[in-house]
Amino acid sequence: MRFTCAVIVALSATAVSAAVLFDKSQVPFATNELRLVQTDVGTVQWITETDKIQLKRAGKKFMDITDTAGEGDYKLEFNVTIPTNTSLSDQVTPLLANISIANMKANLEKFSSFYTRYYKSTTGAESSDWLFETVKTVAAVNPSIKVFQFHHSWPQSSLIARIPGIKTGSAEDRTVVVGAHQDSINLIFPNFFGAPGADDDGSGTVTILETFRALVENGFKPNNTVEFHWYSAEEGGLLGSQAVFSEYAKRQIKVGAMLQQDMTGYVKKTVDAGQPESLGVITDFVHPELTEFIKRVIDSYASIPYVETECGYACSDHASAQKVGYPSAFVIESEFKNSNPFIHSTRDTLDRLSFDHMAEHAKLTLGFVYELGFADLN
């Protein structure tokens, strides 16, 4: 389907009319509901849910701030010291061999088999429940790990797995967060057409799940609290991650570092362009020192290099962390122009992905978590 600049021109706060077909198994899609959307720093407008879909079709990124418009009142300011290099290779390197491509493939086969993981749908809620039970099963080997659902006003919950730090309890605690979003969307009609979302962001979901498993099953007990997050409703304008990080800011939880993994498995455009397979390190709208540290982690623990790239304002859930004052960064599967062209459709399927490439993202994630889990971030 081709979209032109006329799509943007058609957007307005009063544009409401659209005939939408519904899958009766899904939650109704309120096309006329007005939402407050931010499309750039300081640029906000009231538009309808239908207009939000039009924005996404046109490739325009945004945050839906309707429910968190006052979160700036809770923005935290605190000191964070990010390491300049890695220092725990003797401990990290042996763990990398525990990353299982077979596990990631099995989990992604199941996760992408749900008809859609659209956050307002019943199957979106069912996929979230499956993920919740899967994460709990992994965590069961360590009773101190807490896995819980972060509920929203829509059916699909966000998920959090918390590995408590040995030094937890000080006012100077710093929490390390790794995130991915679990929802998917079909931009033709979200409530009617399927959205397997194998790459966006099923790949990131199972990448951090496999990192979590590799750490937990090998007795990982960090000094700093480490959390794995699976956000709902990223495709709706970063709704789930905004809710989570706004709540954290209100509770004065100091997140010292946050890494987002959104799309970790597609390499064909890179290879076809004759370019080396690499990890795409986002350099715009991110924390610069944390991003530089991530490059060092890739150098130390990944088998492929990184390439610097940009993705624009509010391009994934790291933006929600940054918005309330948390240092955040984002690594994607390639240079942004070579990322998966099949997302947001029925063609975002598992057969288009490289699990070897996803394993490189898992290595990065494991190194990131382990290094910062023991770093003095104060």
pLDDT tens, 214-254? 999 999 999 999 999 999 999 999 999 999 999 999 999 99
Q: Are 136 and 159 in contact (CB under 8 A)?
A: no
Question: Which among 49, 235, 317, 371 is annotated as catalytic?
Answer: 235
Is residue 144 predicted with pLDDT exceeding 50? yes
| Strand order from edge to edge, sheet including 34-40 | 43-48, 34-40, 63-64
Instruction: Report the pLDDT value the prediction gives residue 10, as an integer from 0 to 100.
Output: 32
Is the pLDDT assigned to residue 171 strictly greater than 90? no
Percent of the chain with pLDDT over 90: 86
Last residue of a domain, one of 38, 71, 104: 71
Of these residues, 152, 181, 229, 318, which one is catalytic?
Answer: 181
Question: Which one is catalytic: 183, 200, 317, 333?
Answer: 200
Q: Does the annotation count 344 as an active-site position?
A: yes
Residue 50 inside a domain? The answer is yes
Same structural domain for residues 53 and 108?
no
**Whether 12 and 87 share a structural domain:** no
Banded model confidence at residue 14, pLDDT cuts 50, 70, 90: very low
More confident residue, 177 or 27: 177
Q: Confirm whether 299 is a catalytic residue.
A: no
State yes or no: is 217 an active-site residue. Answer: no
Q: Is the dihedral of CA 281, 101, 238, 160 positive or negative?
A: negative
Domain carrying residue 171 = 73-373
How many structural domains does the chain have?
2
Domain identity same for 218 and 327: yes
- The three-class DSSP label of residue 104 is helix
When pLDDT is cut at 50, 70 and 90, the band that residue 12 belongs to is very low
Question: Residue 42's pLDDT is what?
Answer: 86
Q: Cβ distance 218 to 89 under 8 Å?
A: no
Q: pLDDT value at position 73?
A: 60
Of all residues in the chain, the percent with pLDDT exceeding 70 is 89
pTM of the full structure:
0.91
Instruction: Locate 341 and state its tokens.
Output: 């062209």
Domain boundary among 71, 88, 123: 71
Q: Torsions phi, psi of 52, nearest 5?
A: -60, -40
204 is a domain residue: yes
38: left (phi over 0), alpha (psi -120 to 50) or beta: beta
Give dist(CA 120, CA 29) in Å, integer: 8
Q: What is the pLDDT of residue 16?
A: 25
41 or 207: whose pLDDT is higher?
207
The answer to which of 169-173, 178-182, 318-322 has the lowest mean pLDDT is: 169-173
Q: Of 210, 234, 317, 348, which one is the catalytic site residue?
A: 234
Question: How confident is the model over 97-135, as pLDDT tens digits?
Answer: 999 999 999 999 999 999 999 999 999 999 999 999 999
**Catalytic member of 229, 344, 357, 361:** 344
Beta strand 34-40 with 63-64 is antiparallel
Catalytic site includes residue 262:
yes
**What pLDDT, on the 0 to 100 scale, is given for residue 270?**
98
Q: Do 158 and 230 form a contact (C-beta atoms < 8 A)?
A: yes
Residues 176 and 323 in one domain: yes
**Catalytic residue list contains 181:** yes
Say whether both 198 and 236 belong to one domain.
Answer: yes
What are 72-84's pLDDT values in tens digits?
A: 567 889 999 999 9
Which among 50, 71, 92 is the end of a domain?
71
Contact between 177 and 229 (Cβ < 8 Å): yes
**Token pair of 18 as six digits:** 């659209």
1 belongs to a structural domain: no
Q: Return d(Cα 261, Cα 361) in angstroms, integer.
A: 8
Quote the mean pLDDT of the chain. 91
Residues 172 and 79 in one domain: yes
210 is catalytic: no
Is the pLDDT at 29 greater than 80, yes or no? Answer: no
